[in-house]
Each structure stands twice: as structure tokens, then as C-alpha cells.
Chains A and B, each alone.
Chain A
Amino acid sequence: MHKISELLETGKVLVSDGAWGTYLFKKGLLSGTCPEEWNLTHYDDVLEIAKSYINAGSDIISTNSFGANVFKLSQYNLSEKLSDICRSSVEISRRAAGKDKFVMASLGPTGKFLIMGDVTSDELYDSFRQQAIAFETSGADAVCIETFYALDEAEQAIKAVKENTSLAVFCTFTFDKTKEGFNTLTGITPQQMTESLILCGADVVGANCGSGFEDMIEIVNMIRLVSSRIPILIQANAGLPTIENGNLIYSETPEKIKEIIPKIIDTGVNIIGGCCGTTPDHIKVIAEIVNRYNQKIK
């Protein structure tokens, strides 16, 4: 069994990290350029982001590799550097994490739809395979297949990781809130996702992006309706942003989430972190609350 899974079996809740995209922009990433390229060109900046989450209390940090697939990198003429970029992303995070903390390599969707016929399952599988192998080579503990929305694409990603590496597989989808509840843009509900991903062999399932921390409570309850045992990872946005005085303001501030995090732990989430708009300050709040909880259950 994977080390992370062992730890989760003890009932401990773990803390993952916060946003990377928004953080990279703060560090000067230019709009319209490739964020993943920064692993090769701005090593120290990326390392700083990774370290800041370790220092804030993350048990697991991710990597700057979300869009490092063949299709997205091609838009920047960087697809030939896929393996270098992916290896480097894990190297950087591993350097920050050391031996004590975990590294989960971020793997995002390709943006292509199989139903449209502009990509085949094999082509998707192949891109994901390249990423997975590069991640394992540099010492990742897990792959976090995140912000997905289509079951067919997720299936290819999970298969690619499981059939080519021995890394743990985390898979989280992004859900939109509708009148009927929650679904992805392909119409998948949290229950449908959970059934499907468990069948595919994911070690951890969950949700990221799309919703703030408050909405995640309902999503987790739906996942638990399908499985009381499967470990769950939640990485919520800091709410949806508005603009105030020309600045992007996220409504769920570190102060606001202090009340929500205990409720999230109560729903049975095993790993908690943040997505768009969250910062090391959010992670500090989460880590404090989680540590108190872990002390109690000891």
C-alpha cells in the first residue's frame, strides 16, 4: 500500500497545498505564457512557492505541471520539453518537501473532447503516460489527476498512471453548482464520478476548483453516499472572485474559512487543501485546525 494511504488508514487528516496558478501570476508570470515552462526558466521562483506551502504546514504539496500535457504545451511549441518540464516540476517540489513530506504531481485535463473526434483515447493515454513516467522518475509519491470533468478522459489518465508506474492515484473533478445540485460540464454528478473512479482503481477521489469551501460540504456528502471508505481529497477555491477597486478579491478569506474547515473534517474528508485564490495563509488556517483534530483522535 502507498505510504499516503497507510497514513490515511490511521484516521489522520492530511493538509495539501494552495493555489499555484494565482501565485505564479503574483510572482510575475505573464498572461498568455506557459506557466509550466517556469520550472526550466524560473526554478527559484517555483521553489519558493513550493517552500512557502511546506512552511505553512502542508503535508503534501503538488507540482507546477498542471498543463504539461502534449496538447497544451503544443500551444506554446513546448511539447518536446514535456518530460523535462514534468521531471523538473517534481524535482523542485521534492527539494522543498524533503523526505518527510509528500509530493503529488499535478496532472490536468487536455481540454480536448473525445466525443468531438479531435483526439483519440490512445493519444490522450500516451500524453498522460509520458507525464506519469516523468513524475515517477523524479520521485513523486502520487499523481493528482485534478480539475477533470469528463469520465472518459479521467479513465485514460488513471489507466496511464496505474499501468506505467506504481504511484498512488488521486483523482478530483471540478463541479458547478446548478439548480439540481452539482455537476461537471459534461453532466457528471459527484455520485457518478465516485462510482466510476473507484471502478477505475483510484486510491483517492474528490473535488477541486469550481466551488468554494462552503459548497464542498454538500459535494463530499454526495461522495460519501456512494462510499463511506474511499479517501477523499478536497481542494476548494477561495470562493468565486469579484473585482473591487481593480483588484481580484476572493470571498472566502483565511478568516472566513475558520468556521467551515471543522465542518469539512466532520463530513469525512481525508485530505484538505485549496485551489484558485488560496494562499499560504489559507493553508496555515487549515493546518492549525487539522492538527488540533489529529491531536484529539490520537
Chain B
Amino acid sequence: MNDILNQISLCIEKGKVNQNSNFPVDMKGLKGAVELTQDALLMGISAYKVLNIGFLTGMQIVGEKFKEGKIFLPEVLISAKAMSSSMELLKPYFKSGEINYRGKVVMGTVAGDLHDIGKNIVKMVLEGGGWEVIDLGVNVTAEKFIDAIKLNSVKTVGLSALLTTTMQNMNDISAKIKAEINDVTVIVGGAPVTKAFANSINADEYFPDPQGMLDYLNKKLLTNNL
């Protein structure tokens, strides 16, 4: 059983989405993450094991390598694609309650900004780690963030921006969220964002990579602060 779960993990690590995928070259023609996930479920392996051994292990390796600068965005993107395509097959198990998410976070790209690659990668890494992400998309106003946080009763919100010009909106949005809602953690990220910038706008946390945020969320869960 572990063999097929290891294979799923490897496909995610290498970015092998499905049998038709041309990438990576050395896995051409082989079954991909999607087919193997299907096979595992048909074999009677629990959705829980597929998620926590198959997906999580693979995405963990990707997250760590990216953090260490060993792989770059395109590799993370394709790995995340392999994972999220396979994750579709697990949706019914989440719905039925057979598997549960670890927790929920709200994410969005701030008002005025239409870039979403960074946000999407973080979303996929978090989902691979078993977290539910309420994705508000791009160009999201403070009001929209606040509504989503209240509606979903989440304690953590992630703001993303790619432009130095829209980074400034993080200041207003963060302030408005904190003014309206008690006890919410505001996390910021994006190419032009730095720790210094995050401190200057009173954001709670900043992470330069998705694994950082995932590790943080998991740690907080352990201390039961979520």
C-alpha cells in the first residue's frame, strides 16, 4: 500500500500531473498523480492516507526545496497543479466528513492588484498540507476580506500583493480588518514585500515562501490558538 502512496508523493514532487503530461521528460507515458490517486482510492486506501501520506509528503518536499532555493516557481507551480488536480478526487470525502481539514484561512490579492500566481501557490501548498483556503481572488477590498473572515469564522487571513504600488493598500486593509475584528492574524506576502515592510504596517506575520506559512499554521494549531 505504501508503494502507491510513495508513487503519488513522487509524482507530486516531480510535477507529473497525469499520464498525458509531457513533463517531466523522464516520466513520459507513465501514470501521473491523478491516475494513481484514482487507483489508490479504488484499492480501498483511505482518503485520509492519500491526503496525509501521498499529497502532504510530496508537497512538503516541494515546499522545503523552494524555501531552500533548490527549485523555483515553475517547478512549484507544476507540482501544485499535480496536487490540486488529484485533490479534486478527494472533494467528496471532505464533503461527507470522512476527512477533515486542519483549519480554514482566508486569502486574497489586495485591492488594485490583479496578480495571483503567488497567492495561488500558497493556496495549493496549504491545501496540500490539509488546510482549507477561502480564496477571494484578486482586487479584494477590506470589506470583502472582513465579510469573508466573519462568514467563515477564521482567525487567519493572508494578503498578497505583487506591485510596490498596491503594497500600500495592505496598510489600509490590515488596519481595517484589525479595527473590525478581534483576534485575527494578518499575514502578508508577495514579491516586493519584506519583513521590514510588514512590521511598518503592523501586519502580524510575513513569510517569503509558502512553506513558512504552512509551518506557522501547523504550529499555531498545536498551541491551540486557531
Task: Give A residues with C-beta under 8 Å from B.
Answer: 21-22, 25, 30-32, 75, 111, 113, 115-116, 150, 176, 178-180, 183-187, 237, 240-244, 246, 248, 276-277
- Chain B interface size band reads 20 to 34
- The 6 closest A-B CB pairs, nearest first, are A31-B112, A187-B72, A185-B73, A32-B112, A115-B74, A243-B200
Using CB atoms, name the residue of chain A closest to B76.
A185
A208 and B10 CA atoms in complex are apart in Å by: 37
For B7, the chain A residues whose CB sits under 8 A away are none
B114, B166, B169, B200: which contacts A242 (Cβ < 8 A)?
B200
**CA distance in complex: A19, B165 (Å):** 11
Contact assessment for B23 and A115 in the assembled complex, using a CB-CB cutoff below 8 Å: yes
Chain A interface mostly: loop
The complex places the Cα of A24 from the Cα of B16 at a distance, in Å, of 43
Residues of A within 8 A of B69 (CB): 178-180, 183
- Bound Cα distance A183, B74 (Å): 13
How many Å lie between the Cα of A244 and that of B199 in the bound state?
11
Task: Give the nearest-CB partner of A76 in chain B.
Answer: B114
Q: Indicate if the CB atoms of A21 and B165 lie closer than 8 Å.
A: yes
B167 CB–A CB distance under 8 Å: yes
Chain A residues, CB < 8 A from B112: 30-32
**Inside 8 A of B201's CB, which chain A residues have their CB?**
243
Closest to B71 in A: A187
Whether B171 is near chain A, meaning CB under 8 Å from some CB there, is yes
**Chain B contacts of A244 at CB under 8 A?**
200
Within 8 Å CB of B192, what residues of A? Answer: 240-241
Do residues B71 and A31 form an inter-chain contact, with CB atoms below 8 A? no
User: Contact string, B196-223, partner A, CB cutoff 8 A, digits 1/0?
Assistant: 1100110000000000000000000000
Beyond A25-B165, A179-B69, whether A32 also contacts B117 by CB under 8 A is no
State whether A186 and B74 are in contact (beta carbons under 8 Å apart), knowing that A25-B165, A180-B69, A248-B164 are contacts in the complex: yes
State whether A183 and B111 are in contact (beta carbons under 8 Å apart), knowing that A21-B165, A240-B197, A243-B201 are contacts in the complex.
Answer: no
Partner of B111, one of A31, A185, A277: A31
Q: What would be 5 A-B contacts, judged by CB atoms less than 8 Å apart?
A: A30-B112, A32-B113, A240-B197, A241-B197, A248-B164
Residue of B nearest to A276 (CB): B164
Most buried by B among A113, A241, A277: A241
Q: Answer yes or no: B163 CB below 8 A from chain A CBs.
A: yes
Is B169 a contact partner of A31 (Cβ separation < 8 A)? Answer: yes
Residues of A within 8 A of B111 (CB): 31-32
Least CB distance from B82 to A in Å reads: 11
Expressed in whole angstroms, the Cα–Cα distance for A276 and B191 within the complex equals 13
A187 and B171 alpha carbons, distance in the complex (Å): 30
> Which of B23, B164, B191 sits near A176, CB closer than 8 Å?
B191
> When A179-B69, A186-B73 are in contact, do A111 and B117 touch as well, CB less than 8 Å?
yes
What's the least CB distance linking B170 to chain A, in Å?
9
C-alpha spacing A262/B81, complex, angstroms: 47
Contacts of B71 in A (CB 8 A): 187
Given A21-B163, A31-B111, A180-B69, A242–B196 Cβ distance below 8 Å? yes
Query: In the complex, A244→B196 CA distance in Å?
Result: 11
Known interface pairs A31-B112, A240-B192, A243-B200. Does A22 touch B77 (Cβ–Cβ under 8 Å)?
no
CB pair A116–B78 under 8 Å, yes or no, is yes
> Within 8 Å of chain A (Cβ to Cβ): is B115?
yes
A32 and B139 contacting across the interface, CB-CB below 8 Å: yes
Q: Does B168 contact A (CB under 8 A)?
A: yes
- In Å, the complex CA distance between A21 and B162 comes to 13
Interface residue? B194 (CB, 8 A):
yes
Q: Which listed residue, A111, A240, A246, touches B171 by the CB 8 Å rule?
A: A246
Residue of A nearest to B202 (CB): A243
| Chain A hits for B72, CB < 8 A | 183-187
Are B81 and A116 in contact (CB-based, < 8 A)?
yes
In the complex with contacts A31-B112, A32-B139, A243-B77 CB distance below 8 A: no
Instruction: Please name all residues of chain B whose beta carbon is closer than 8 Å to the beta carbon of A240 when the two chains form the complex.
Output: 164, 192, 194, 197
